A and B are shown apart, each in its own frame.
Chain A
Amino acid sequence: ILNVEQSPQSLHVQEGDSTNFTCSFPSSNFYALHWYRWETAKSPEALFVMTLNGDEKKKGRISATLNTKEGYSYLYIKGSQPEDSATYLCAFNDYKLSFGAGTTVTVRA
């Protein structure tokens, strides 16, 4: 069982503030690191798939960075909006995906 850890477990952000959170994963047998966004009562949806050390991906106000040598990835939300409220999952991909428990973000208006 792979140890994919996400921190913090949850966070509350004021509307308009920026925030970030972490995913740590094994640094060996790395193929890719995935980020998913999971809104309440919906299914997880892929945000990013990152494969190269130093990779940076961006989708609107959400971006992610990857450090495969030290085994971590950061997800950033710039200027948080209420619609950003969701659980953000990261998943480590060697030959299959193993998910972390997620970071639940609540944006307060």
Chain B
Amino acid sequence: NAGVTQTPKFQVLKTGQSMTLQCAQDMNHNSMYWYRQDPGMGLRLIYYSASEGTTDKGEVPNGYNVSRLNKREFSLRLESAAPSQTSVYFCASSDSLREKLFFGSGTQLSVL
């Protein structure tokens, strides 16, 4: 059972480059999330999707866009990467906004 799958696991970008982080879940969950993890700051919510067809901003949405492609997939796009976006990114899913989260294995992103 794959659970939540994130790709890529590692990425190095130059300032100004763009990229998309992919996330897919096979648990038929309705809600999906993107978090970033920075030292000493825990997990901060970037965007979330309560259900297919909806997306909402979290705590730190600036510089990011998301797409809920279908019920399984939720992608995160950096249009013009900045060094401040160097972080570990986690995708997660849950049955609803009020149920426990299942996390992917994370993407370590470095922006030079």
**Interface residues of A, Cβ cutoff 8 Å to B:** 1, 31-32, 34, 36, 42-46, 49, 89, 91, 93, 95-102
Docked CA distance A96–B31 (Å): 10
**Interface residues of B, Cβ cutoff 8 Å to A:** 33, 35, 40-45, 48, 56, 58-59, 90, 97-106
Interface centre among A31, A91, A96 (most CB of B within 10 A): A96
B104 to chain A, nearest CB (A): 6
Interface centre among B40, B98, B102, B103 (most CB of A within 10 A): B98
Docked CA distance A96–B94 (Å): 11
Contact assessment for A43 and B97 in the assembled complex, using a CB-CB cutoff below 8 Å: no
A73 to chain B, nearest CB (A): 15
Q: A46-B100, A89-B43 are in contact. List 4 more A-B contacts (CB 8 A).
A: A43-B106, A49-B100, A97-B33, A101-B40
